[in-house]
A and B are shown apart, each in its own frame.
Chain A
Amino acid sequence: MLTALILADSRFPGGGHVHSGGLEEAAARRLVTDEPSLESFLHGRLLTTGLLAAGFAAAAARGEDLELLDLELDARTPSPAQREASRAQGRGMLRAARRAWPSARLASLPASPHQPLVIGVVVGDPYEAALTCAYLAVSGPASAAVRLLGLDPFGVNAIVAALPVEEVASRACKELPALGSPALDLLAEAHVRREGVRLFGS
Chain B
Amino acid sequence: MGANHGPDPHDHHHGTAPRIGIGGPVGSGKTALTAALCRALGEQLSLAVVTNDIYTTEDADFLRRAGVLDPARIEAVQTGCCPHTAIRDDITANLDAVERLEHKFPALDLVIIESGGDNLTAVFSRGLVDKQIFVVDVAGGDKVPRKGGPGVTTADLLVINKVDLAPLVGADMDVMISDAHRMRGELPVIAQSLVETPDAPEVAKWVLAQL
> Which residues does A use to contact B, with CB under 8 Å?
11-20, 67, 70-71, 74, 84, 87-88, 91-92, 94-96, 98-99, 110-113, 144, 147-148, 196-201
For residue B14, give the distance in angstroms from its CB to the closest CB of chain A.
14
B81 A15 Cβ-Cβ under 8 A? no
B80 A18 Cβ-Cβ under 8 A? yes
For residue A100, give the distance in angstroms from its CB to the closest CB of chain B.
11
The closest CB in chain A to the CB of B91 belongs to: A13
Chain A residues near B5: list those with CB within 8 A: 84, 87, 91, 111-112
Contacts A70-B3, A111-B3; A92 near B80 (Cβ below 8 A)? no
Chain A residues near B16: list those with CB within 8 A: none
Given A11-B90, A18-B78, 6 further pairs, Cβ under 8 A: A12-B90, A13-B89, A13-B91, A87-B5, A88-B96, A198-B78
Contacts A110-B3, A197-B55; A95 near B9 (Cβ below 8 A)? yes
Contacts A87-B5, A147-B80; A15 near B93 (Cβ below 8 A)? yes
Contacts A67-B3, A144-B80; A14 near B90 (Cβ below 8 A)? yes
In the assembled complex, the Cα of A173 lies from the Cα of B55 at a distance in Å of: 41
In the assembled complex, the Cα of A147 lies from the Cα of B78 at a distance in Å of: 14
The count of residues in chain B whose C-beta lies closer than 8 Å to any C-beta of chain A is: 28
Q: Kindly supply a per-residue 1/0 record for chain B positions 93-109, scoring 1 wherever the CB is within 8 Å of any chain A CB and 0 otherwise.
A: 10110000000000000
The closest CB in chain B to the CB of A93 belongs to: B92
In the assembled complex, the Cα of A173 lies from the Cα of B102 at a distance in Å of: 40
Chain A residues near B7: list those with CB within 8 A: 111
B80 A20 Cβ-Cβ under 8 A? yes
> Which residues does B use to contact A, with CB under 8 Å?
1, 3-11, 54-56, 77-82, 85-86, 89-93, 95-96
In the assembled complex, the Cα of A2 lies from the Cα of B85 at a distance in Å of: 23
Contacts A92-B9, A95-B11; A147 near B3 (Cβ below 8 A)? no
Chain A residues near B90: list those with CB within 8 A: 11-17
For residue B8, give the distance in angstroms from its CB to the closest CB of chain A.
5
Chain B residues near A19: list those with CB within 8 A: 80
Chain B residues near A13: list those with CB within 8 A: 89-92
Chain B residues near A95: list those with CB within 8 A: 9-11, 92, 95
A18 B1 Cβ-Cβ under 8 A? no
Chain B residues near A15: list those with CB within 8 A: 90, 92-93, 96
Pick 25 A–B contacts, CB within 8 A, sort by A.
A12-B90, A13-B91, A15-B96, A17-B90, A18-B77, A18-B93, A71-B1, A87-B3, A91-B6, A91-B9, A91-B96, A92-B9, A95-B9, A110-B3, A111-B4, A111-B7, A111-B9, A112-B5, A112-B9, A113-B3, A144-B81, A147-B80, A197-B55, A198-B78, A199-B54
Chain A residues near B82: list those with CB within 8 A: 17, 147
In the assembled complex, the Cα of A197 lies from the Cα of B53 at a distance in Å of: 10
Contacts A84-B5, A112-B6; A17 near B85 (Cβ below 8 A)? yes
In the assembled complex, the Cα of A111 lies from the Cα of B82 at a distance in Å of: 27
Chain A residues near B11: list those with CB within 8 A: 95, 98-99
B92 A98 Cβ-Cβ under 8 A? no
Chain A residues near B95: list those with CB within 8 A: 95
Chain A residues near B55: list those with CB within 8 A: 196-197
Contacts A13-B89, A88-B96; A199 near B79 (Cβ below 8 A)? yes
A201 B93 Cβ-Cβ under 8 A? yes
In the assembled complex, the Cα of A48 lies from the Cα of B85 at a distance in Å of: 29
In the assembled complex, the Cα of A198 lies from the Cα of B91 at a distance in Å of: 19
